[in-house]
Amino acid sequence: MRNKILMTLALLLTAVTGAWAQSYEAKVFDVPASWTGDETYLSAADLPKDFVQITKDEAEALAVPDGNVILIYDFEGENVKVLLFMSGTLIDEDEAPWGRGMFEQYQTNSNAIICYTAPAEPAEPAIDVKWDAATKTGTFVMPAYDVEIAPIYAPVAQWAVVENVQQLPTAIEGIYAGTTDAIVNAGTVAKIGETENPQGTVMYAVTSTNQATAPALDAFSADVPTAKDIADEGAEVLVWYYIKGADAPEGQEATAENTFNDSEICAEPIKVTVLSNKFDIQFTAANANTIEAGKATVTVGGTAATVTDGKLEDVKIGTEVKVTAKEGYKFRKVEAKKGGLLSIVITGATTATIYYVEGETWGQAIQNHPEENSAWRISISGAIDFQGYVPSAGGNFVDSTDIIDPNAGYTFQLS
């Protein structure tokens, strides 16, 4: 992942060819008459704004007009320590600050000389660093001296933490292929300071389980992945993720408080199992008037479908299934129940298995699943019989109208 450098890129420029030669230009400074006898220390504020300090040696090299005084040296706090020269000759050297009235002792006229710098050569133009916010790069033209670059890097965006647990994306199980249901719970990014603004955006990419390394960044999206583009057969997929760090808000200068680097792509992707979206419909007629015999037609999603051995295969969730009786026939009753046969093993005087669909009565189970329950019978009175043995629950024989209860504790007794 590429680090994000703040837009306030700092460049420390170091000229290695030595300091430029300096020359000094003497300027006349009009000493205020009010300074006469004034013992207030001479301060930086009393001098012209472009007053500069020079050394004793530099002062002696200056051509000072006769009768004028030059003051030089450094500062003690805001007060000026001075060396006084008249016509290039040192008059006094005092390490303590002097008052304004010192000019009374040495002035032969109303002027003093102040030193100003004048560059010996034109100053080098400032380095112009052009920042490209889109690519997070800065460019400049290399000058005729070494340049030291000191970029300021943004911090890495962090995940929100609840009870010491990072709020990373997690898998959602039980999702069917081809649906728009999310296959992961979205991760949560930490906020910026005390604001409600996140430090970045969670980015996701979905690959097959054959993907050994993270995909390229252009494969990631801020959309939470769904099962929409996963084949109907279902599959096991990998979900990769990272935080794309937030840029400084528009109109604000980038700082370490409002700009964040991308996090690393997760080292271990989330493995999600997406269920097959192919289901079978078993048509079980209560009499001989079956669909296969031409007594009705079936469409799936508006397209004619062929029922084979009483079954339609590979029907997707949400698809409209329409059964239409042939002209001259009608349905007395059509029931749709959850498929997938359940079974109970009953023991006691003998042992047998009853196959049923949840919610069916004993009579319906025997009628609706004749092949599986071929050894079971329903008597004229409605009693249930298995080769002369009768199931009971709590001492009571079961009846064909009783709903099969897997928790009833059925046992066999002789009829």
pLDDT value at 91 more than 70? no
Cβ atoms of 66 and 81 closer than 8 Å: no
Confidence at 21, pLDDT banded by 50, 70, 90: very low
In this structure, are residues 391 and 397 in contact, taking their beta carbons and an 8 Å threshold? yes
Q: Which two tokens stand for residue 369?
A: 């699943």
pLDDT bin (cut points 50, 70, 90) of residue 222 is: very high
pLDDT given for residue 71 in this prediction:
64
368 vs 339, higher pLDDT: 368
Stretch 279-301: mean pLDDT, rounded? 83
9 pLDDT more than 60? no
Over range 322-329, report the average pLDDT.
Answer: 87
Provide the token pair at 69. Answer: 């005084």
For the chain, first and last CA: distance in Å? 78
Task: Give the span between the Cα atoms of 109 and 67, in whole angstroms.
Answer: 7
Instruction: Name every residue whose Cβ is closer than 8 Å to that of residue 305 and which is 6 or more positions away in sequence.
Output: 298, 299, 312
pLDDT value at residue 239 = 96
In angstroms, rounded to a whole number, what is the distance separating the alpha carbons of residues 24 and 61? Answer: 10
Mean pLDDT, residues 36-50: 79
166, 190 in Cβ contact below 8 A?
Answer: no
Among 105-109, 298-302, 359-363, top mean pLDDT goes to 298-302
Mean pLDDT for 64-90 is 66
Euclidean distance between CA atoms 115 and 50, whole angstroms: 9
pLDDT band at 108 (very low <50, low <70, confident <90, very high): low
Cα–Cα distance measured from residue 41 to residue 223, given in angstroms and rounded to the nearest whole number: 71
To the question of pTM greater than 0.85 for the whole model, the response is no
Q: What is the mean pLDDT of the chain?
A: 80
16 pLDDT more than 50: no
Return the amino acid letter for 13. Answer: L
Sign of CA dihedral 295, 299, 304, 307: negative
- And the tokens for 364? 């319906």
The neighbouring-strand residues paired with 12 are: 148
Identify the pLDDT of residue 11: 46
**What pLDDT is recorded for position 268?**
94
Cβ distance 282 to 371 under 8 Å? no
Task: List, in sequence order, the alpha helices (H) in 162-273.
Answer: none
pLDDT-wise least confident of 120-124, 127-131, 236-240 = 120-124
- Dihedral-angle region of residue 164 (phi above 0 means left; psi in -120 to 50 means alpha; beta otherwise): left
Q: Where residue 243 falls among pLDDT bands split at 50, 70, 90?
A: very high
Answer whether residue 412 shows pLDDT above 50: yes
Mean pLDDT on 279-290: 79
Strand (E) or helix (H) holding 276: none
pLDDT of residue 14: 41
The 3-state DSSP class for residue 266 equals coil
Q: What pLDDT shows up at residue 289? A: 77
Does residue 262 register a pLDDT over 80?
Answer: yes
The residue with tokens 């004619």 is 304
- Tell me which of 179 and 26 has the higher pLDDT: 179
pLDDT (mean) for 107-118: 58
Write the CB contacts of 334 (distance below 8 Å, at least 6 apart in sequence): 323
The residues facing 61 across adjacent strands are none
Give the residue with greater pLDDT, 21 vs 57. 57
Chain centroid to CA 187: 8
Taking the CA of residue 266 as centre, how many other CA atoms within 13 Å lie in the half-sphere pointing to its CB? 22
CB contact at 8 A, 182 and 229: no
In the three-class reduction of DSSP (H, G, I as helix; E, B as strand; rest coil), residue 137 is classed as strand
Distance CA 107, CA 81 (A): 18
* Greater model confidence, 68 or 5: 68
